[in-house]
Amino acid sequence: MKNISKEDYLSAIYKLRDEAGEIKPNLIAENLEISAAAVTDMLKKLNKDGYVRYQKYKGIKLTPKGEKYAISMIRKHRLWETFLFETLGMPWEKIHNEAEKLEHSSSDELVDKLEEFLNFPEFDPHGYPIPDKAGNIPKQKQVIALSDMNKNEKGKISRISDFKSELLVYTKRQGLNIGEKIFIKDKLEFDGSVVININNKEVSLSKKIASNIFIEKD
Amino acid sequence: MKNISKEDYLSAIYKLRDEAGEIKPNLIAENLEISAAAVTDMLKKLNKDGYVRYQKYKGIKLTPKGEKYAISMIRKHRLWETFLFETLGMPWEKIHNEAEKLEHSSSDELVDKLEEFLNFPEFDPHGYPIPDKAGNIPKQKQVIALSDMNKNEKGKISRISDFKSELLVYTKRQGLNIGEKIFIKDKLEFDGSVVININNKEVSLSKKIASNIFIEKD
DNA sequence: TTTAATTTTTAAGTTTACTTAAATTTATAA
DNA sequence: TTATAAATTTAAGTAAACTTAAAAATTAAA
């Protein structure tokens, strides 16, 4: 058994709405690596407990209570990531999984102290905004997936998806770091892959990879 | 359900042997606040998995594998306590429970980095020694429970049991801090309570409380 | 040393969060 | 529009870690 908690479901739902734009049982199941049936079960409970509004076959929506909960988990996650990376110097591709565990094991009081110690950071090491104590999320400049940009456009890397450590290892090896300036040299219609210039180097990225890198356009 | 893990059982067993001097199912149950029947169940499993040597009605003993595991959990616990107290400034009576959760959610790699960040502390805020990476435990000067000392003896406080936050709040309010010098002014035969001098103040402590305060004798 | 009290174990049952397989509903395509 | 495919839900069952109550073993006391 995987024993995934209420918190994980709520975070997953929040992130799906935020990043994929839609919330479906199958997507939740995929995200949490459990069966769709398990998701149905839990949705019923979350509905009963007032964390989501759920009508079978129809829709899934976080209630204010559920959203508050989700944001507080995301806050914990991103603060821990920041601590692990900035303070302890852990490798950037490992902090996501480690923070995933810590976020369930720390009180609000602890996390507030941690935030203070870190001097109230606004973004985590992968470029995600960190909600403050009240749940407000720092505004990020308009960002767009690298895969949605066109030839000759330019900008700088502001976020890289953190859910697959393999991706983070890869992007790091290619020199794709947060803050780095990029220029789109070419985009192949054939498979959607892009060729970019970064640090005077030319790097080619598949569409899938490019869709996980977010750019702040000039 | 409380869902206590293998780790908790092993730590509890280790500490019982270390502090109470004997390991009995009932003591484990009391420590973890679960039924004795649950303990029997788990002992069978720990035996099967090679963490303890267990013969029913007869005895419970950690195997080297179990001991190694327990020490690693204790190391995590005490390093987290040190971090929470020293680095984040959390109240001293709260860090035990918080560390209790964190210890299950951190990899060895993380804890090694944490230890380095904390500059390899040897004792935690309650005066317990912190095992190093290899499992070696810093030698503490000979300590004795305050309840076992006699009139006119003196020494300094080197450890206070951390399992009841109520006790920690109490001792702190009485000015009983690690490192403080004490002198036993009187000991009542009636109920075993002791009267001590600390910081030019006179404090009276019940036998039960005194048995949780450990002194390094002069 | 026999009885009584205590401790430990066994037995039976509960809860939670899953699983797979079958049934149902919704979406897509001929 | 109807058939087929895909997504979702229901049903039935499992595993882990508990619970209480009863039974068995050990320890303490008369």
Which residues of chain A are within 8 Å of residue B114 when distances are taken between CB atoms? Answer: 88
For residues B195 and B203, the answer to whether their CB atoms sit within 8 Å is: yes
Which residues of chain B are within 8 Å of residue A106 when distances are taken between CB atoms? Answer: 98, 101-102
The pLDDT of residue A1 is above 70: no
Cα–Cα distances in Å, from A25 out to A71, A99, B141? Answer: 20, 25, 59
CATH topology of domain B143-217: SH3 type barrels. (2.30.30)
Residue A57, judged by CB atoms within 10 A of its CB (0-12, 13-18, 19+), counts as exposed
Helix axes B6-15, B36-48, angle to 10 degrees: 100
Question: CA B71, CA A37: separation in Å to the nearest integer?
Answer: 40
The pLDDT of residue A169 is above 90: no
Q: How many residues does chain A have?
A: 218
In the prediction, which pLDDT does A48 show? Answer: 93
pLDDT digits (tens, 9 = 90+) for A19-66: 878 899 999 999 999 999 999 999 999 999 999 999 999 989 999 999
Which residues make up the CATH 1.10.10.10 domain(s) of chain A?
6-62, 73-139
Residue A9, judged by CB atoms within 10 A of its CB (0-12, 13-18, 19+), counts as buried
- The answer to whether the C-beta of A34 is closer than 7 A to strand C is yes
Query: Which chain B residue has its CA at the smallest distance from A84's CA?
Result: B110
Q: Comparing C-alpha atoms, which of A29, A160, A182, A19 is closest to residue A95? A: A160
In the prediction, which pLDDT does B175 show? Answer: 85
CATH 1.10.10.10 matches B75-138: yes
User: Rounded mean pLDDT of A82-110?
Assistant: 94
The pLDDT of residue B79 is above 70: yes
pLDDT digits (tens, 9 = 90+) for B111-132: 999 999 999 999 999 999 999 9
What value does the mean pLDDT of chain B take?
91
The pLDDT of residue B12 is above 80: yes
DSSP A114-149: HHHHTT--SB-TTSPBPP-TTS--PPPPPEEEGGG-
CATH 1.10.1270.20 matches A73-139: no
List bases in chain C with any atom under 7 Å of a protein Cβ: 7-12, 15-22, 25-26
Instruction: Read off the tokens for A76.
Output: 């914990």
What value does the mean pLDDT of chain A take?
91
The pLDDT of residue B69 is above 90: yes
For residues B7 and B104, the answer to whether their CB atoms sit within 8 Å is: yes
Question: CA B199, CA A174: separation in Å to the nearest integer?
Answer: 62
pLDDT digits (tens, 9 = 90+) for B33-42: 999 999 999 9
Return the CATH architecture of domain A6-62: Orthogonal Bundle (1.10)
Question: CA B204, CA B184: separation in Å to the nearest integer?
Answer: 10
Question: CA B2, CA B9: separation in Å to the nearest integer?
Answer: 13
pLDDT digits (tens, 9 = 90+) for A126-159: 999 999 999 999 988 788 889 889 889 999 899 9
How far is A118 from chain B, CA to nearest CA, in Å?
Answer: 10
pLDDT digits (tens, 9 = 90+) for A185-214: 998 887 788 999 998 889 898 888 888 899
Q: What is the ipTM of this complex?
A: 0.86
Which residues of chain A are within 8 Å of residue B106 when distances are taken between CB atoms? Answer: 98, 101-102
In the prediction, which pLDDT does B1 show? Answer: 63
What amino acid is encoded at B20 in this protein? A
